[in-house]
Structure 1
Amino acid sequence: MESWGPAVTSLREITTAHVQEALDNASGVDGVFTALRSLFKALKRERVVFHDPARSATFTFRVAVRRPVPSDRLVGLMDRVPTASGRVAVALTAIHALRAHTIRGTLLADLNRSKGTLGVRGASGKQTRLVYLDDFTLSLIATMLKERATRWPHSTNPHLLVTRVTAHDPEGPQMIHKAFQYFFRRLGINAEQVRIDRILDEARATADPVHLMTVFGITEDTAMDYLASAHPERFPTDPIAP
């Protein structure tokens, strides 16, 4: 845009060719395109310019394509996890697509076994939504809680997942990230990869962004990214074209 200065004396002189050249030479073109469209739309609305030169400009819209984890790497996951808490961690990741920090921060009080729900807490520490647990995950949690009561009957740690280190810590800390990732390192896979694969699988089945947002608590933009990855044939190369 700085290159326009020597050539023009007013924004009214800017043409589509000027805008297109700016897009072709810009890094982070998505942001530049959005900024130029907004700028000239506002200028036209205020009658500062008589036409919108950005309206006819185009660029290639890049979608961050998410790749699924190969199915052979997911087969028998639970049989390869040696601990009850590890199996719960894997289930909450692979079935319900919860993030590692969300699972580590989950409290026993967030679990309602009679209703089959698990409260999910946001950055503020308050519950933001409920996850409806399947019977398989509930059975894994029941087994884990029985084991916990046997191994650490006097533990006062309020978190759903504990380790032998945190179970009797009077401050009741959550499981450290390294301990959580240990479950997945034994499987030779990353927890975030498993989470992404779960959402991508749901996106292939539904193609409904609202459904993805409701089930997984993701934003609209993130839901659309997953749908674009799952159904590339439904998305044009330039969905913001005029």
Structure 2
Amino acid sequence: MQYNDLIDIGVNLTHARFNADRDAVIERATAAGVTGMILTGVNLAESESAVTLAETRPALMHATAGVHPHHADQWSSPAARSLQALIERPSVVAVGETGLDYNRDFSPRSDQRAAFAAQLEIAAASQLPVFLHQRDAEADFLAILREHRAALPAVVLHCFTGDRTLLEACLALDVHIGITGWVADDRRGAELRRCVPDIPLDRLMIETDAPFLLPRNLPEPPAKRRNEPGFLPHVLEAVAALRDESASHLVASTAATSRRFFRLPG
């Protein structure tokens, strides 16, 4: 089926794996019906690159700007000032990717918590939505988010891979949920698949997180197993099947929710 209004709320389009054919990737995405992409900023340099790339196609792309927990040891007062300058550019629609990752611990946990809280404060002051990451850090993640939630205009936990307990805690905090190709992975996505039908329609958005998390429901996986935004229909169809909804209805609802959340035109 051909779709005509898909919005990918999380794509790492500045990643080096796209350097050789980025323009072709973008063209394939639009041919697949993707009309909007939110480019993810994971550190200050990548955020700058994402913002700059988004500015080349403002009708199609916007960006987030932030420091991922993997890079939290780079957080500092100068980094905060640099982030503040970045989020003032018109293509930036959210602060992030920020949060906690206790699975890999690429940065000390104390640094992760400090950088997370500081970026939530910046988002609250600027009244921008936040684009969040959480892995194996549920208690600290929810505690920090609860402390700041009332001051934040909108929150999305991107690439949700949690269980029903985490979902219910997020919904109680009025958090939106981003679903990736993880949902099509029957090896490790069982808990997520059980949760998907219970996500309120007005809190649900879809994403590829490309070049990562290639959907396993692709009929012919690419040779190098690189995900790209043109594969977003496969995420959509997996979610629609689990919810027993039509794909066309889900396209319309996720697009409307994404535009409202990120304050996108149209």
TM-score by length of 2: 0.24
- Choose between structure 1 and 2 for higher RCO, CA contacts under 8 A separated by at least 6 residues: 1
Higher relative strand content = 2
